[in-house]
Amino acid sequence: MKMPFTHEEFLSVFSNYNIQVWPMQLVLVLSAAFSVLIIFTRINNRDRIVSGILVFLWIWMGIVYHLIFFSSINKAAYFFGIIFVFQGLMFLYHGVIKNKLKFLFLKRSSGITGILFIFFALVIYPILGHLFGHVYPKTPTFGAPCPTVIFTFGLLLTNNHQTPIFLLIIPLIWSLIGFSAAVNLQITEDFGLFIVGIIGSTLILINNAKKEKLLKHLNT
């Protein structure tokens, strides 16, 4: 699929974004780190806090990255911005208002995989970007869509309730879009987003099926 912009134009968006929003990158990373820290605890309102951080991240990506910056080279960014804000509002309703997401790290395959995805998003992704020649500020930092979607999959894998399918649709679609960026724009680190999207969605669906089976067993 031919992109409506060049590789250099795409990297210039990241450059403009990183320079103009600084030091918000620190706030975004610290917010993410705090959410990871508290999923190892049982503090009051833990689940709503983690959901609230996801709300903040997705609305930030929708409004700031897509609508303000990415739209300068790609008119589809207006649509992306809307659906990212919508994803944030879904986290707001389901996670903060209804308190239906229960984030807590448990030593099982999904929880361990989730932590690995989070580590990839916050640590490995920027290292890979640097190794592939994407030097700051011309690089996707945390708070841009691809590393943040990876982070989202990681957190959702630590949710110990069923994860609604509607919360997976937009992150999964973006992981497929990230694959096209990896192929067509030489953002090689985004191959990781594609892999995380497929593995993460599969594990979440498997977990949902197990929890549904357990609920049926308890109700019989």
55-102, pLDDT tens digit by residue?
A: 999 999 999 999 999 999 999 999 999 999 999 999 999 999 999 999
Bigger pLDDT: 211 or 160?
Answer: 160
Residue 87 domain-assigned (yes or no): yes
Q: What are phi and psi of 142, to 5 degrees?
A: -60, 135
Residue 176 domain-assigned (yes or no): yes
Residue 15 domain-assigned (yes or no): no
Signed CA dihedral, 199, 200, 202, 207: sign only: positive
Domain housing 38: 25-218
Count of domains for the chain: 1
Residue 7 domain-assigned (yes or no): no
Residue 14 domain-assigned (yes or no): no
> CA–CA separation, 126 vs 145, rounded Å?
13
Residue 6 domain-assigned (yes or no): no
Residue 83 domain-assigned (yes or no): yes
Predicted model pTM: 0.95
> CA–CA separation, 51 vs 140, rounded Å?
23
pLDDT at 203 over 70: yes
> CA–CA separation, 167 vs 215, rounded Å?
21
pLDDT at 214 over 80: no
Residue 34 domain-assigned (yes or no): yes
